[in-house]
Amino acid sequence: MVHSVTLCACLSLLTVLSCHSRVLPRLSFPKGSPGRSLNVFKNPDVYNTTTLLLSSDEGTLFIGARDAVLSIDVSQSDAMTMKEKLDWSPSEKDLADCAMKGKMKMDCHNFVRVLQVLNSTHMYACGTFAFSPRCIYINSKTLSMATGPSGKPEEGRSRCPYDPYQRNTAITVDGELYTGTVADYRGTRPVISRHLSEGSHVDVKLDDTLGWLEDPTFIRSTYVPSEEKVYFFFSETGREYDFIDKLTVSRIAQVCTSDVGGQRTLQKRWTTFAKAQLLCQAGQELPYNILQDIVTLSPPEGSSEDETLFYGIFTSQWQVNLGRSAVCAFSLKDIKKVFTGHYKVLNRDTLKWSTRVQEQIASPGECGLHNASDNTLRFVKDNFLADKSVQPVTQGLTLVSPDKSYSNIAAQRVRGARGRDYTLLYLLTESGFLHKAVLLKNGAHIIEEIQVFDQPQAVKNLLLSVSKGAVMIGSSEGVISVPMSNCSYYWSCAECVLARDPFCGWDPVMKLCTDIHTHDHLVQDVDGGNVSAQCTYVTPRSRSAQSRTLSGEVVSVSLNEVVHLQCPGASHLAKRHWERLNSQLSPKIYIQSDDGGLSFVATPSTLGPYLCQSEENGYTQTLGIYHVKQKSSPTVPPATRNRPHSTPSTEAGIKTSIFTTRLITPTPTEPRTEPDAEVDPTDSPEDSPAASTHSRSFTPSLGTEKQDSRKTELGETHPLTDKPSYFQELVVVSVLLALCISALLTIAFHRFGHFCHSRTVPQTPSSRRDAEKGGSATPQERESLRGHSSRLEKRNGQAPNGQSHAGQAHNGTSPIMPSNSMLNSSNGHLPNTPI
């Protein structure tokens, strides 16, 4: 049993990792990057701009902020300017009463949490108002308070939360307000209710009986006209799972807009309330059970409304999935199927759910039950939890983020160049990045990530303006407008196709990447991103609108110097590698870092050209070209190239006392990298690059220097001026030879003087015999002579570099001449170390 559980866990982990490999953003744009423009609205007197509402023409953005309601002009795509401001602040008495309740002063402001359109002329707003919620009517044209039916601000109880950090949802349908919030100061009485009812409609809410809602966190609500139903999305404690303490589950609940409550049973209470579980799970993995946000995507034109999709962000309370987020999609067709199925039964005495089979008196959730009998309404009152869970479409996860926690989501449908519709998701992370992802058959592809916040934001809101082509993000820092498309960033056909952005296509005539809606017959491949198939006859386009000639960065180095070559990144999905002409990059000599850089020691065999290339989706392009050459020096000239290259082991074994490190990067003319496109085969050879190069402006063409580097690679020699000189070494050898001769002459004179002295001293026959035997000297004289001899040997028997003459004689070399092994270890050159 343990082995099977372990195997399932491993398979689940492999599945998760395989999903993670597909969700890496292709491009990243830090905040302030010139490659991605943002429009920001900030006002020093405005805080917490989190509640957003667009006008019907999407030319005005209404913002519910702290103690104010604003109107912002967003008709221009590149600017946001404030039009009007409505102050709505609590009085000093309200603030004092809030402080007496033990609340912090910062939380006692009026945070606008509900902002909805009532009709063509008025809006309806509700705020926390110092923990005493209130609501007002607002004239949309003048942004001023309007008089309501009561003639004064209305109480916001059951319409707006008391606590500004309590989540809620609200939506207006035909002038009536449907809300999901809490109805008390402590936040322990959740309620789904309808307000501002007119005509035969009355305000209705949930029954006060326990079991309808279990400590919910309301997320969002939406209206489906064909069903005449309002759907509420929230998370709550799943009481049906009584074997797990406080298990959180995600829910969808429904009410009919025609519901007016029962005549005797459930008077002014919902008779059509029903709820079901949303199950975001893949295979046998633990489910992502906590709903963070959800958005409604309408079906394509001409399709049934059953094709409406709901994309939700889910996190998990399980330790194995902490820090991850999953996106699941649910269809309206599956939701309707669950609500028309069987229901669980709630025991009111024990508050336990069961699935026992019983006679079905009515269909819970069915509209029109307000005229039903009391027996039918009692059945509906105890049977409102659907037995089955709503499964995601394709029975799996739409997207999984391995290391990002998503908080908000928006979705839209975009028609590509070939008439096919693609779904785009905009996902806001807790850390302040916006991910733009396109959903494909083989998984999600994140086109780019854009940093929109400097610091993580506790409360955020996401809103799309399709007509303006912008994503509106509200936070405590202000409102940020992000353009949906960024086609002008891609300056080549290859990059335009590899981006796989449904908004963008390559124009082969204008030689630019442009918006798909402005031109016809554009080159695009969102599904496959196949560059070779789409860009065969497309010429590159640089910023100067001229084809770029082959050039590179000249890197002048000294021998034994550590060289670093930097490779610019094309995208996070590309694999970078280095190449040399007719040479392999041995790992014993070259070190390739994770950021794409290449490091090595400059030797005669490592000089020459280097190419940094990237491979993405089967397409290879050159990002940088470097020509490493030796510096010209009068004392230590460059080595000749016609000598044989040293072996890798010899180069790896070169030892130097000092290494100088250089970081070589191309000098950009623009603030971002711009990979070039492939070459038009119709271009002339002198104008077309031999390989796609990076769009940085390198050092001008190398000319003869580049030709010389190519000659040396083929074994040709340099001119006579490049031949090495051994003048310094010759002077050193001459000096050492003179010193040795002087030492030998000194020893010879000394020995000759001693011999003459011994001849003049009279000796006895016995002493002469002892001298002939070598034993005439006294012990003190022998000790003195031995010490003198050892000093001479120590003086004359040691070479200047620390090696003995005997060892050098053994090698057959002079003590002042380099050996053959030294020549081999330096490629035929004397060492450059001073003696």
Instruction: Give dist(CA 255, CA 252) in Å, integer.
Output: 11
Helix (H, G, I), strand (E, B) or coil at 393: helix
Both tokens of 161, joined, read: 């939360």
CB-based contact 84:61 (threshold 8 Å): no
pLDDT band at 758 (very low <50, low <70, confident <90, very high): low
If phi > 0 it is left, if psi is from -120 to 50 it is alpha, else beta; for residue 129 that is: left
- pLDDT tier at 361 (50, 70, 90 boundaries)? confident
In this structure, what token pair is assigned to residue 767?
């002493």
- What's the rounded mean pLDDT across residues 368-378? 88
For 432-467, write each residue's pLDDT tens digit.
999 999 999 989 999 999 999 988 888 889 999 999
**Is the model's pLDDT at 213 over the cut of 90?**
yes
Residues 6+ apart with CB under 8 A from 716: 641, 642
Non-local CB neighbours of 482 within 8 Å, separated by 6+ positions? 36, 38, 39, 434, 450, 452, 470, 471, 473
In the DSSP assignment, the letter for residue 266 is T
Could you tell me if residue 766 is left (phi over 0), alpha (psi between -120 and 50 degrees) or otherwise beta?
Answer: alpha
Give the chain's mean pLDDT. Answer: 78
pLDDT computed for residue 594 by the predictor: 83
pLDDT digits (tens, 9 = 90+) for 250-286: 999 999 999 999 988 999 999 999 999 999 998 888 8
Reported as a pLDDT band with limits 50, 70 and 90, residue 766 is very low
Q: Say if CB 599 and CB 563 are below 8 A apart.
A: yes
Please state, as a whole number, how many other Cβ atoms lie within 10 Å of the Cβ of residue 244: 9
Residues contacting 434, CB < 8 A, separation 6+: 426, 427, 428, 449, 450, 451, 452, 471, 473, 482
In the chain, the percentage of residues whose pLDDT exceeds 70 is 74
> Is pLDDT at 170 greater than 90 in this prediction?
yes
Mean pLDDT along residues 229-233:
98
Band of pLDDT at residue 93, cut at 50, 70 and 90: very high
Q: Could you give all domains of the chain from N- to C-terminal order, each with its CATH number?
A: 1-30+166-454 (2.130.10.10), 34-158+458-484 (no CATH), 487-534 (3.30.1680.10), 553-722 (2.60.40.10), 726-743+793-835 (no CATH)
pLDDT of residue 671: 38
Query: Which pLDDT does position 826 carry in this prediction?
Result: 38
Query: Is the pLDDT at 69 greater than 50, yes or no?
Result: yes
Rounded mean pLDDT of 416-422? Answer: 88
What pLDDT is stored for residue 783 in this prediction?
45
Half-sphere exposure at residue 99, Cβ-oriented, CA atoms within 13 angstroms: 9
Lowest mean pLDDT across 65-69, 438-442, 692-696, 788-792: 692-696
| pLDDT at position 501 | 96
pLDDT tens track for 740-750: 898 888 888 87
Paired strand residues for 73: 60, 81
Q: Is 582 exposed, middle or buried (0-12, 13-18, 19+ CB in 10 A)?
A: exposed
Residue 551: both structure tokens together: 């050039």
Q: What is the mean pLDDT of residues 117-126?
A: 95
pLDDT value at residue 355: 80
Q: What mean pLDDT is predicted for residues 489-510? A: 93
Pair type for strands 619-630 and 553-557: parallel
Measured in residues, the chain has a length of: 835
Q: Euclidean distance between the first and final Cα of the chain, in Å?
A: 75
Average pLDDT over residues 464-482: 93
Confidence (pLDDT) at 246: 84
More confident residue, 122 or 644: 122
Looking at per-residue confidence, does 354 or 210 come out higher? 354
- pLDDT at residue 386 above 50? yes
What is the tens place of the pLDDT at every residue in 276-324?
Answer: 999 999 888 889 999 999 999 999 988 999 999 999 999 999 888 888 8
Distance CA 749, CA 738 (A): 17
Residues of 57-68 as b/e, b for ≥16 C-beta within 10 angstroms?
ebebbbbbbbbb
How far is the C-alpha of 130 from the C-alpha of 603, rounded, in Å? 75
Q: What is the pLDDT of residue 512?
A: 92
Q: What type of residue sits at position 11?
A: L
Burial class (CB in 10 A: 0-12, 13-18, 19+), 112: buried
Q: Answer positive or negative: Cα dihedral of 779, 784, 790, 792.
A: negative
What confidence score (pLDDT) does residue 269 get?
Answer: 94
Q: What is the pLDDT of residue 150?
A: 74
* φ, ψ dihedrals at 737, nearest 5°: -65, -40
Measured distance CA(281)–CA(395) in Å, rounded? 8
CA distance 452 to 37: 10
- If you average pLDDT over each of 64-68, 198-202, 323-327, which comes out highest? 64-68
Q: Where are the beta strands (DSSP E) in 660-748?
A: 661-664
Instruction: Give the residue, 114 or 713, on which the prediction is more confident.
Output: 114
Per-residue pLDDT at 547 exceeds 80: no
Top-confidence residue, 16 or 439: 439
Distance CA 21, CA 10 (A): 17
Whether 718 has a pLDDT exceeding 80, the answer reads no
Q: How confident is residue 60, by pLDDT bands cut at 50, 70 and 90?
A: very high
User: Residue 820: is its pLDDT beyond 60?
Assistant: no
200 burial level (CB within 10 Å; 0-12, 13-18, 19+): exposed
Task: Name the pLDDT band for 9 (thresholds 50, 70, 90).
Answer: very low
40-56 pLDDT tens trace? 999 999 999 999 999 99
Higher pLDDT, 831 or 210: 210
pLDDT of amino acid 740: 86
Q: Which helix (H) or strand (E) holds 616?
A: strand 608-616
What whole-number distance in Å separates Cα of residue 599 and Cα of residue 607? 13
**Rounded to an integer, what distance in angstroms lies between the CA atom of residue 385 and that of residue 214?**
12
Residue 13 has pLDDT above 90, yes or no: no
Q: 145-154, 191-200, 516-525, 706-715 — which is least confidently predicted? A: 706-715
Whether the per-residue pLDDT at 587 is higher than 60: the answer is yes
For the chain, what percent of residues have pLDDT higher than 90? 50
DSSP annotation of 171: E
| Tokens read off for 305 | 């409304």
Cα–Cα separations (whole angstroms), residue 516 to 90, 161, 411, 503, 521: 50, 44, 19, 5, 9
For residues 171-176, average pLDDT = 96
pLDDT band at residue 345 under the 50/70/90 scheme: confident
pLDDT value for 183: 92
Distance CA 801, CA 815 (A): 9
**pLDDT at site 202:** 93
